[in-house]
Amino acid sequence: MTGRAVLVTGASRGIGRAVAEAFAASGDRVAIHCRASVRAAEELRDALPGAGHVVVLADLADPDAVRTMVDQAADALDGLDVLVNNAGVFTPHPIFDTSYEDWQRQWRATLDTNLVGAANVIWCAARYMRERGGRIVNVSSRGAFRGEPGQVAYGASKAGLNSLTQSLAVALAPYGIAVAAVAPGFVETDMVSEHLRSDRADEIRAQSPFRRVAQPAEVAAAVHWLASPQAEWASGTIIDLNGASYLRT
């Protein structure tokens, strides 16, 4: 088989879709993961250039489903060379407007998908990369650094994902596996479309001195580079992709 074997989680839309398109355009074979958006995932698979692309399903909050999904992707693609952990959930739960019971549900659902789910995908995928090396790129968020006051579990999950990225960059380097992350700000996707149509739209765009939000393809370009053979020395890196809307030292 030609090209690399690439698994992208949450690939049926938004950033994940753009990432899948970027890898396919460079000749790679892509496993498009989704939880429930099967039709959109299948339409993307059929539209991608090249051959050998597949759709794999799993609720990332279910560890057994994760293991089955990764095995299916590896079987279909003849191994795994690249993992992009993109899938995530982002739901409002302001502390004083959320019941204690719902607070618990929001934290469990968010961490189980965004952090524990991502860690489980890595555990499974790394076993296919152990002998031949590979690349793992995690999609984090600006919110890990500046905070997410209305979605605090989301911000915490992405901060945890950053720490996971850096820990595994050290742990997996002896096996030729580089691990890095990107931390986007607002990106024009379905997840934030409601905000971009609201009264806050101008304020959101004004957060960046470019006075716009990112396009998914801009994030995908960074992910694609981090997964390249030339980017091994960037292992452990977290790249900010927020149009100078939040600067950290």
CATH of the domain at 84: 3.40.50.720
- pTM as predicted: 0.95
170: in domain: yes
Task: Decide if 154 contacts 148 (C-beta within 8 A).
Answer: yes
Tokens coding 80: 């795994």
Q: Six-digit token pair at 214? A: 């990112």
DSSP label of 114? I
Cα distance between residue 69 and residue 11, in whole Å: 14
Residue 208, in any domain of the structure: yes
Catalytic residue among 128, 154, 175, 246: 154
To the nearest whole percent, how much of the chain has pLDDT over 90?
94
Token look-up 């990432």 returns 19
Q: Is residue 248 part of a domain?
A: no
14, part of any domain: yes
Domain assignment of residue 246, yes or no: no
Backbone φ and ψ for 185, nearest 5 degrees, come out as -90, -145
For residue 249, is it within any domain? no
Per-residue pLDDT reduced to its tens digit, 92-106? 999 999 999 999 999
Short-list 137, 235, 125, CA closest to 183: 137
Query: Is 201 among the domain residues?
Result: yes
φ and ψ of 58, to 5 deg? -175, 145
List the beta bridge partners of residue 241: 184
Residue 50: predicted pLDDT: 97
Query: 201-213, pLDDT tens digit by residue?
Result: 999 999 999 999 9
In which domain, by residue range, is 229 found?
A: 5-241
Please check the confidence at residue 87 and state whether its pLDDT lies above 80. yes
| Catalytic residue status for 154 | yes
Token pair 């739901």 is found at: 91
Q: How many domains would you assign to the chain? A: 1
Quick check: is 247 in a domain? no
